[in-house]
Structure 1
């Protein structure tokens, strides 16, 4: 049985976790708790726990200082940190020290359950890795995956270690990097001379890191399109960047694209579209969550995130000036998101920022913020109902006229004069299916009609907007259950000029 300890100077945390978590369910024995860093260090040395769960800020010795000493004395210890301070530098330092999970307060049973599941799996992997290392010295693939994950999370600081694990010669050939994130575990993508693939699970997603040796990456995009159809996965991808140090940007974009695709119940491949230049760069996870709730109309989620945001500010004990700055930033983000649905920026002139600055109470500042965000959310909801009909009807008319061309969501959004992400959400709500599913349905129904007229499959493919014959065939079979030739022959039709039709070999 694994041994665990909990260190936190808040009595409610240690007692709550001790009493409320069914440790035996995980095969874990809770062997001790401590409220200060010095006692915690002595307890670790005496009890030799497998798992250490510690707060970052404690008297005597901070959680990070404690972990640094643990890693020197017993580096295979699984360390989990939690804190009410959601600051990037803390996370960055913790990851450098080898921490395997970081939980923000308040700590819930759900968070603990997920963290323990990941930790147990990680310990199992570590034990397997030690055994393998004893036999084979090192597992190069595992090291590369770890180095790649560090690259995605830490950025430039992790580049040297990643290059060493990847191979200096191949790293020198790097022309670009792209990150993809998929729901569930998928098959590994095939290798190709123009790119190299690194895939591994992380959290609830399956991450694929593509290193391009040539750009543009047409071979990979063609293969990925077919792969996503054959596996029925939902895949999100970030933009391609020319430096390994920028891989983290592509990773964040891939996760964001995947999340919107899952919300829209969209299978297949969804690319991140950079349509949010008006938003501040480098949004925190909390700010990203608030943006997502506003766009998807999730008022309950929005209020919950604002409440958590307020709690985090209180824990950090910021000065009134700092709180005012943070509140204004979040309000500005809200205004910019509302502009996607027609909010007039001039309306912001009615907001008295001087009045906010004169508020001495932190609670009053947050009341003001909540009032602003609720007002913007209500505006977006009302505006959605008022404008959705005309906007979507205009989009449908444009799609009907241009579906045989590329007809991307971004092009439709530009035609309608709307943010692409907002239009996709509006489209799904109004039509009942996502934009991609609608275009696919339109193309497939037109293809069925053309096939029954006796047109060659290759010509039908181009006629309905698929200039890759294999992609069209895969989409048609997914939509109808049969290949284009089988569909036509099943309706008593024969191919014209069989020798010129590539579909003669499709099955």
Structure 2
């Protein structure tokens, strides 16, 4: 509603206006009355009014002086003059002071309401036009921001066609932008790759995290840009005054990144890993900072999730593998080549436990040696279906965020393919060992022992123990447990089975005992394995 002030020294006139005019129906609110010009000015200032209805003749300050004074305070206020004086001089002054209506007393209710309706229409039109202007300005500003983001992204991606044209465009959109120093940071949402778009409303998580990142970045400087590179990775381009020193800028970047990392985890329960590159002299050189931030982010494998990795940190890492790495790698390769099941898993655990200590070997070495081990296992065991082709192996390795994740996946794959290879090669073993393997595969659901097999084929338990370990490279008990665990994994992927039912189906009467054996073998509880499997389907 528009606010109206009445000014007249006749109390009877004021009361008549109050009672007779249907203010609400006109979309108006009578917010105050004044008996002289000075009082009217005070009310207009205090109540931020839109319309003034005033008499000409009033004590202290007349209507004409009132309008002249108001134009200095509120030039947009609409004025209706109602006066008993019809002299041309008053009407001329009223027009000069942009009074919208000049009504002569006595005036009718209809004339006053018609005049007010015209003013309401004028105010509505002015508001509409103002909104249109604001909308156009906002759209222009948003469009300019979009263009600016696109230009900066083209710098980071090195997709610039004309550097001179780019320079001109940047300075037109953001005058003075070339004078400031720049740092590029990369932030990556941890644990997001394994979640499908339907799970936990992934789209909302990404949107919420983007807002947190943008708010944190622009809280430091509203010129800072946040660019989405993919669903879980963002670039922050931070701008600083050219006069600021290295230490101030470096500390400011660290403060911004720590702040957004903490905010993200508190609000969304997702952690963030962040990196940043060196300070460069202007935005045209931002790609250099971006490249070094990107190289730092690759080393998330070594530093772990929820880390803030400086571009200088990765310079401390030796790009060549140290002697312990190479020796562990050699042992692991030998175990795989000889299809030594237990030795392979032992060497895998030792090798990746050493790598996980951090700063031991470079990111490229970890990926290349993991790729080498898997392709070697595929070649020797001929288990294409279990491992996949080289492209899939490389793609999977690059999807992991930590050394521990690579270790777990590679161990599970080697465990599966080597067991399958051992079963496939049963024809190379003695008839006694073939019988034992076949007996386990057919009877693992029962509480079987080595004595049961001994009674079946009339050979001593000691002899069978030694023979099985010698030919299979694994003890009878361990082979039985591994067989049961592989079957349990398949059943856990099916939600219709409860955990106690799965325990019974793989030969365990006690759910608790089964859970302990499963965790010891797989590294996760049955429930944890099922949840993890659900995320990766």
TM-score over 0.5 for the pair: no
TM score, norm. by length of structure 2:
0.25
Q: Which is higher, the Rg of structure 1 or of structure 2? A: 2
